[in-house]
Each structure stands twice: as C-alpha cells, then as structure tokens.
Structure 1
Amino acid sequence: MNKVFKTLLVITVVLSVFSCANNNLKTTESTTKLRFIDEYVIPDDLIFEETRVGGLSGIDYANGNWYVISDDSDSPRFYNASISYDLDGFKSVEINSVVKFEDVDGKLFTNGIVDPESIRYDNETIIWTSEGNINNGLKPFIRIADTNGRFLKEMILANRYLPNTNSNSGPRNNGVFESLTLSQDEKGYWVAMELPLIEDGVEPTLAETNSPVRIAFVNKKTGRFEKEIVYELNKVERPAINGATFEVNGIVGLIEYDINRFFVLERSYSMGYEDGGNTVKIYDVDASKATDVSSLKSLLDANYTKVTKKLLFNFETIRKDLTNAIVDNIEGLTFGPDFNNGNRSLIVIADNNFSLYGPQLNQIILFELEK
C-alpha cells in the first residue's frame, strides 16, 4: 500500500470496536537481534530501458540474483538487479534488466488492471501478487510466471478474498495481498492480508482495536488456499496532522525463516509529516500454536489462538542515520547472501510511489541478523 494516497477519495469509514476471545495483544522483545549497517538510495529519476525505476514494492534474492517488483499499474514489471555489500555497507546497486509481466492471453497488461505488490523466486518461476482494485471490482490475485514474465498459473482464491457487493464482508480496497513468502517446507506459499477482512474486524485506529489479519497458506500443487492463521495488528502510531486525516497500519512484508516462524513488516502511516509519516517495525512471529481459522467465516466473537509476536526492530532507532531522517514507505524484505562471519543479511526496500505526491526515496536498507 501507500497506495494509501489512492484511498483518500474513499476515506469515509465508520469504525466500531469488537472483542474476541484469545485476542489480547501482547508484544515482547525478541531475543534475535538485527544490526543496521547501511542505506542506499536509488536515484528518483533513474531510467532503465524506457522505464522509470520506482514503486519498488517487493524484493527477493536467489542464486546470486535479485528480483525487484515495481507496482506501476500501467506497466507491471520486475527488475533483475545486482546488489553488492559486506559488513561495512553497500558497494554497488545496479539494474541489469527489466521484465514486463504478461496476462493470461500472452499480452502485456492493460493499464490499471493490476496493482503489483510482492515477488518471490521459486525454482525458475516468479510468484507475484496483485491487490487488484476492490472498489472497482478488480480481483486481487497470486500468479506464477516464468522468468520472462509469461503467465503460467493462477492460484484459486477463497471467496472471502474476492470483491463483492456486500458492504459487510470481503477485502478492503488496498488492503489485500501486500506480502508473500515461500514456505520452508517447500510445499507452497504464505500470503498475508494487509488489513482485516470487513467481517473479521476493523482497521487499526489510534485507539486499541480488534484488527486481526489472515495469513494464508497456498498449496503450490493444487493452487488452493488451505490453512489460515491470525496476526493481530497494532494500533496506528501517530495522529495525522496539518489538516490531514488519513491514518493506517498494516502488514506490508512477510518472510518465513523456519517452520511456523516469520519476520513480519508492520507499517503505520499517518499523513502530514515531513519525515514521511511512516512508523515501521519488524516482528519475530511464532505461529506454531496458532489456530487454523480457515473454516471460520468471521473472526468476530470466535474462539481461536493467534500467532505470538515479538518486536525485533523499530526503525525509529535508526531514523537519524537515514537520508533526511526519513523512514520511507518500506514494503519488501528478503534475506540476501550470508556475510563472511556466517551471519545472515536482511534487506528491506521502500516504494517511493514514483514521488507522485511529493519527494520520496527508493530506499534500500541493509541489516545483519546477529546470532
């Protein structure tokens, strides 16, 4: 999302507060540690093969190659890149090629049909998500393409994730499949909603609310949704200021690093701030005891056990070390190659919205996952 700006025209939302068993939000400190190393900013005006490099919503690394998806709905695409770094910081970031996605008919997408968000590489294929446009009846999807962008397969969505005319159920606009990860058992993919389904709970507010989002497992062989678990969102961190009213908080990044263990990017955004208005945190999530809620039509008043979350990293702690003290619209994360000391590297990336609403950054941030 921050695509949040797209929702400004439809922001009359009536919020009510619900209670649900086993859903009291408790966050503790993770014993795992992330160490900030460096930041790299891709120039906002960089043009590569007649495309502007921006809207970088997701990133993945595999076999020495980097894959970065652009959420340009007029020309859905991903970039192949080379990113070099060590424990001292970035050495270089280079764009090597661009691949435009094709629709099921083998043609490039018509403008405005998709809203690309997340990308993963899996055995010579590219898995990617689109949030669609719920307000306009355009469904979200999870698709598989070859490395040349050609359509191979589409996952079968549960009905609850499809647009509908019922105002009491279904996904919220710009609140659908923002993040995706390969499962550690290699049997499928986990995909997370950014915001709660309407029937499950309300959008986060400045007050404590019941805002549960579903994280669903998709079987790669059958293409069907199977197990679903629940992650409880935090409240919005800051009030909108300077005459603005828009505030939101949601899941924007997801990676499974062990069976039933995830790192989750949660981003709160509020309009009106010169520092970007983003409060971004990474949580260490344990889903080993989480209830499978796939049979529940609604989470309201239901009995279930959600995942547990521990704060791994708060980007406020490095704000002063970043360009113009801006924590930008961070949306993607991936592990990169291990460092020479054996520790894992972690990369996050920000979607600059092509600076349509004011200057933003194509921001890449490097961390060391300390043992």
Structure 2
Amino acid sequence: MSASLIRRACAAALLLTSTLAPAVAAAPPPGAPGAETQRAVQARLLGEKIVPHKLDFRGTTVGGLSGIDRDRCTGEYVFISDDRSFLQPARFYTAKLDVDAAGVHSVDFTGTRPLLQPDGSVYPSPALGDGKAIDPEEIRVDPVKCRYWWGQEGDRPAVEGQPVIQPSIEISAPDGTHHGTLRLPENYLITADRGPRRNQAVEALTFGARGKVVTSAIEGPLVQDGPVPDTTHGALVRVTRQSRAGRVLGQFAYPIEKIFAESDPTSPWGPDTGVPSILAFPDDPERYLVLERTWVAGSGYKIRLFDATTRGATDVRAVDALVGRDVVPMRKKLVADFHTLGLSAVDNTEGMTWGPTLPSGERTLILVSDDNFASDAVTQLVALALR
C-alpha cells in the first residue's frame, strides 16, 4: 500500500473505528548494439468484473486485494489482502475465475487462510507496536512446490522511536503455515539513510525460468538513488534477480515515468507513483511485464503496463547509489494505458498474473485492483488478451 493509498485508507478507517538529475544514460537507440529487437506485446480488453464492496466471506472482509496468481496445482487463483491485521488477521484468499474470450463471467471465492508466523500464530496489528506486524502486498505460487511466496513492505516508521520492520519475502504452505524466508539483497534493507522509502519497498515479485529465478522490484527509488518522480523527471527503481536460495544473480535499474499531471493545489496530498507488480514472461527469463501505478490529487489514477527487459542493462548490484552514476537502465515499451481500454473505472490496480491461453493463441492477463476497503474505490478484476 503506497503513501497516497494509506491516506485514503486512513480516512476509511476513521469511519470504521525535488527533481531527479539526468545522470542516467539513455537506452540505446533502435539498431544500436544491445538494443531490444523483441516486438512489444499488444493488449486488448476482454472484460471486467467488480467484486461487491466489503464482501463478507467466512467471517472476513474481502478487500485490499493487492496481489494475484494462478495455482497450477489446483487451477484456482490466490489473492493476498493488504489488511495489516486491522480488520482481521493478515490473510489470503483462493477463488475460481471464469474467464474466456468473451470476458470475465464470475469470481467465486473458495477459501481464506491467515498468514502465520514461524511460531504458528497470526501476525499482530501494527497498533501493538511490537515490531512484528507486516504489510502484505504481493503473492506468487511457486511453480516447483506450489507453496505461496509473498512479499511484504515492512515499515520505515514516520515517528521516531517506533520499531523498524524490515521488508521481506516469506514462504507459506497453502494452509498458511510458515515455511521460510528468502534472503533479500542488502540494499533492500531499511537503515537511517539507506534503503526503501516508507511504503515503497518490496511490492512486486515473480518467478521466472520455470521457478529457478525469483525477481523482485522495489516500488520506488531507494533513498540513496535519488528523488521520487515529479512532473519533469522520472526515477529509477531496482529490480533484482535471485536464485531460490537467495543468491543475487543480477540487479538492474528500471525507469519509472514522470508524474503525468500537477496535483490539485488545494489537496494536502502529493502525487504517488511506483511499481506494484512485475511478471516474468514464461519463455524469456530476461523479459517482464511491469505495472506502473500513479495517483495524482485532482486527476486520479493512471495505470500503465510495460514490456521491459534486463537484456543489455547495467548490473547495478555493486552500485551503492544510482544518482550521479552513468548506468544503462532496463528498456521498456508501452503495452497498455488503462484509460484507453474502455474500462468502467481506472482505479488502484496492483496485481497481475497470467491466465489461460485463448483459442486465438493470445495469452490472457488477469489484473486486480486494491480498494483499500474505501467506499470510493473498487475491487476490479480485469482480463486482457495479449499477443
């Protein structure tokens, strides 16, 4: 959950209770050595389905769905909720989706389980202040063992004296029991003057190379990597490829877009942007779909999907700070701007996964939006056809 989304979620909870210097080398022009020759995928809308607001399912409140993946062992889909144990214990859901070339016909939830700590207990609310709370944001089903790997952002406290909660990628069984933790790169850790900004840590995770490679992305630029984007400049976020045991295989700089509009000057909230999800192509371990989500006061959301590659990009794992360094970032091409798809609403889309292949040969992409349990937002399932 990003900063602007927390502001909106906080309002709902009350009802319930500078410029980046151009120091990065431009991507190679078409035809230059190392330039990407892969043609970008194209997308068209198949359909959408809205889940009823605050749907009650087995005593839990369905909402805050910020990650989705398909479980090949069951054929069902799994969603993670970013409820930090405020409403009910931090949890995930399973569901059957009826999606085909004619659209999204139904979303039927089939189960829910709390995410459990190593000692078997549920995760506590941050209100306890014991440093054991989590901020779940992404979930992936391990294609090797069908366990659930899920990312949580931790917490860089806004108030001095509160505990730092480090971001992490946890591993759970389908019944919620804890099975391990992936060791993250050192620069993913929060320190006084280094690491992820508040609410801009690990929010994107994907498996590649048939489960042999785990790729994660930081939502926004690390503190040492330069300012957040504004209406003039974008920024760089780190994308890391690791082995299943945690060995870093490579780290790359992904360029996120500049802010698309000026904020409403009467709003107390500034713009918010970042990478909430990344998805590996099944047949290319260096190629990814990258979701960019931006919110601007007075203008709402802009959701864009990009086809990106690490091929030819500088490995920055040993680069302490990207600002002021000459590195070649990942290259990307626009696949879809959600405002051009004909959706009923463009909201806080945060999760995506591959769906079934259509008779046309197109691959479906299923996306979900996080309503943050707010009455002015929606839980929206969107199906795209990609070719």
Q: Calculate the TM-score normalised by the size of structure 1.
A: 0.90
SS at match of 2:386: strand
Q: 2:84 aligns with which of 68, 73, 90?
A: 73
Q: From 189, 200, 219, give the equivalent of 2:243.
A: 219
1:306-317 aligned at under 5 Å gives the runs: 306-317=329-340
Give the partner amino acid of 1:270: V
Contact 1:30 1:311 in 2 (8 A): no
Residue 80 of structure 1: CA displacement? 0.7
Cα RMSD, aligned residues only? 2.1
**Where do residues 290-369 of structure 1 align in structure 2 (5 Å cutoff)?**
290-318=313-341, 321-323=342-344, 326-355=345-374, 358-369=375-386
Alignment partners' CA distance in 2, 1:242 and 1:98: 42
Partner of 1:55: 64
Task: Sort the Cα spacing of 1:16 and 1:90 in 2 relative to 1 into closer, same or farther, 3 A.
Answer: closer
- Match of residue 279 from structure 2: 255
Distance 1:301 1:260 in 2: 26
Which region of structure 1 is more displaced relative to structure 2, 23-32 or 241-250?
23-32
**Closer, same or farther: CA 51–26 of 1 in aligned 2, 3 Å:** farther
Partner of 2:130: none
In 2, distance between residues paired with 1:340 and 1:3?
Answer: 41
Structure 2 vs 1, CA of residues 3 and 40 (structure 1 numbering), >3 Å: closer, same or farther? farther
Q: 1:11 — aligned with what?
A: none
**What is the letter of the counterpart of residue 360 of structure 1?**
A
Q: Match of 1:252, as an amino acid? A: P
Provide Cα deviations, 1:62-120, integer angstroms capped at 9, x if missing partner: 32110111000012111110000211112211000001100121111111211110000
3-state SS of 1:316 partner: helix
Q: Does 1:114 align with 2:138?
A: no
Encode CA deviations 1:199-226: one digit per residue, 9 max, x unaligned.
Answer: 11210111124x1100011221x23444
For 1:234, which of 257, 279, 299 is the aligned residue? 257
Aligned residue type for 1:164: T
Q: Which amino acid aligns with 2:361?
A: G
- Partner of 1:190 in structure 2? 215
Q: Residues 71 and 193 of structure 1: is their aligned pair in 2 closer, same or farther, counting only changes over 3 Å?
A: same
Q: Alpha-carbon deviation of 1:133? A: 1.0
Distance (Å, rounded) in 2 between the aligned partners of 1:268 and 1:30:
26
Contact in 2 for aligned 1:140/1:176 (Cα 8 Å): yes
Letter in 1 for 2:257: N
> Which among 86, 98, 111 is matched to residue 84 of structure 1?
98
Structure 1 CA distance, aligned partners of 2:79 and 2:109? Answer: 10
User: Whole-Å Cα distance in 1 between the matches of residues 372 and 107 of structure 2?
Assistant: 20
CA distance in 1, matches of 2:317, 2:195: 14
Q: Which residue of 2 aligns with 1:125?
A: 147
Equivalent pair of 1:281/1:314 in contact (CA under 8 Å) = yes
Q: CA deviation at 1:272?
A: 3.1
- The answer as to whether partners of 2:3 and 2:272 remain within 8 angstroms in 1 is no
Shift of 1:342: 2.6
Match of 2:188 among 152, 161, 173: 161
Q: Deviation of residue 186 (structure 1)?
A: 2.5
- Paired letter, 1:72: D
Which residue number corresponds to residue 20 of structure 1?
A: 23
Percent pairwise identity: 30
* Structure 1 residues 242 and 301: CA distance shift in structure 2, 3 A: closer
Q: Secondary structure at the match of 2:180?
A: strand
CA drift at 1:343: 1.7
Residue 12 of structure 1 corresponds to: none
Q: Summarize the alignment of residues 4-19 of structure 1 with structure 2, pairs less than 5 Å apart.
A: 4-6=4-6, 15-19=18-22
Question: Residue 308 of structure 2 is aligned with which of 267, 280, 285?
Answer: 285
* Structure 2 Cα separation of the partners of residues 38 and 198 of structure 1: 39
Q: Retained in 1: the 8 A contact 2:46–2:102? A: yes
| CA positional deviation for 1:291 | 1.5
Q: How far does the alpha carbon of each residue in 1:329-360 deviate from its partner, in whole angstroms, 9 at most, with x for none?
A: 000111111123332111111000001xx411
Scaled by the length of structure 2, the TM-score of the pair is 0.86
Unpaired runs of 5+ residues, structure 2, are 9-17, 31-35, 127-132
- The C-alpha deviation readout for 1:288-343, integer Å capped at 9, x for no partner, is 1112110111112223211100011111102xx333xx201000111111123332
Which one of 116, 137, 148 corresponds to residue 102 of structure 1?
A: 116
Aligned equivalents of 1:262, 1:4: Cα separation in 2: 26
Aligned pair partner of 2:298 in 251, 265, 272: 272
Q: How does 1:194-213 map to 2 (within 5 A)?
A: 194-209=219-234, 211-213=235-237
| Contact map agreement 1:30 1:312 (CA 8 A) in 2 | no
Q: Indicate the residue corresponding to 1:41 in structure 2.
A: 50
Figure out how many residues of one structure are paired with residues of the other and give that number: 351
Structure 1 residues 350 and 188: alpha-carbon distance in aligned structure 2, compared to 1, 3 A threshold: same
